[in-house]
Amino acid sequence: MKRFLRVAIPMVMIVFLTQPVSGYDPSKHQKSGGGKHGGGKGHHHGYGRPKGPPADIPAHIKERTSPDGTGINLNNSQIGVKGMAIMAETPELKNVAIMSLKGNKLGDEGVRIITQSSTFKNLEFLSLWDNGISPAGAQMLARGANFNNLKELNLMKNNLGDEGVVLLADSANVSKLTSLDLSGNKIGDAGAIAIATSPYLYNLKKLDLYNNQIGPKGIEALLQSKTLAALEKLDVVKNNIDIESAAKLGESANLPKLKSFMAF
């Protein structure tokens, strides 16, 4: 860890990029991608940002679904709650395990639909990046029967705050997660401590907390967590901590598998 920090801490805005979710290749539906500081990370549509929802939402859903029906990439499609309701009633999606839903204006009502429809009972990989989800939506994720098999969950750029994170961290639905992205959610020390002390996040390998409000107390809790023993990558870039404090905390990390600690 000491050798790594001598390289990582002096660098400015180092991040690790989220790779496409496992089992489904969204590159079939895209032409370009980008990092967190270059307009976004992960999946992008190949045809650019639409100005509104597709004219024919059912046809668009079909076009963006993998041939075997297990994956769907609707990033930036703006299908809204109406589109989510259509998906919930689409028989061809009954085996969907991977859903990329960035930028669809779903809000908490969209999460409710996902929660209540048996169509999504096989979900393992879910991206709800930039959908205006509040603590109420986080509570639905925490309690929903469709979310107890999730392995990767991306909630980047929503409105969870500490309240939403506490609800998630206290849910058995996160017990199978290996990757969790909570970037840009106004999370402070209370949320970080909830993650660090959660009894359910023992399988987590990658935790992204970029662009939040976490201070030294919260980051220390994460680095000293007994639950996060499997954690390999931790991103706390752009939080309320200075380089010197980050270096000191990184040196004292008590996570046996941590390979990448990104603080600046």
pLDDT tier at 36, thresholds 50, 70, 90: low
Return the sign of the alpha-carbon dihedral for residues 206, 208, 213, 215. Answer: positive
Report how far residue 252's alpha carbon sits from residue 262's, in angstroms, rounded to the nearest whole number: 14
Token pair belonging to 72? 């769907």
Whole-angstrom distance, CA of residue 127 vs CA of residue 21: 9
Could you tell me the fold of the domain covering 2-262?
3.80.10
Domain boundaries, the chain: 2-262
Task: Determine the average pLDDT of the residues in 129-140.
Answer: 98
Residue type, 7: V
Instruction: Give the residue with greater pLDDT, 16 vs 263.
Output: 263
Mean pLDDT of 1-23: 36
**Per-residue pLDDT tens for 184-221?**
999 999 999 999 999 999 999 999 999 999 999 999 99
Distances in Å between the Cα of 257 and the Cα atoms of 22, 116, 253 are 21, 37, 10
Roughly what angle, to the nearest 10 degrees, separates helices 189-197 and 161-169?
0
pLDDT digits (tens, 9 = 90+) for 84-107: 999 999 999 999 999 999 999 999
- Residues facing residue 65 across a β-bridge: 72
Q: Please report how many Cα atoms fall inside a 13 Å half-sphere around the Cα of residue 206, on the Cβ side.
A: 15
pLDDT digits (tens, 9 = 90+) for 215-257: 999 999 999 999 999 999 999 999 999 999 999 998 989 999 9
Lookup result for tokens 């909570």: 182
* Three-state DSSP class for residue 51: coil
pTM for this entry: 0.83
56 pLDDT higher than 50: yes
pLDDT exceeds 50 at position 63: yes
Whether the per-residue pLDDT at 12 is higher than 70: the answer is no
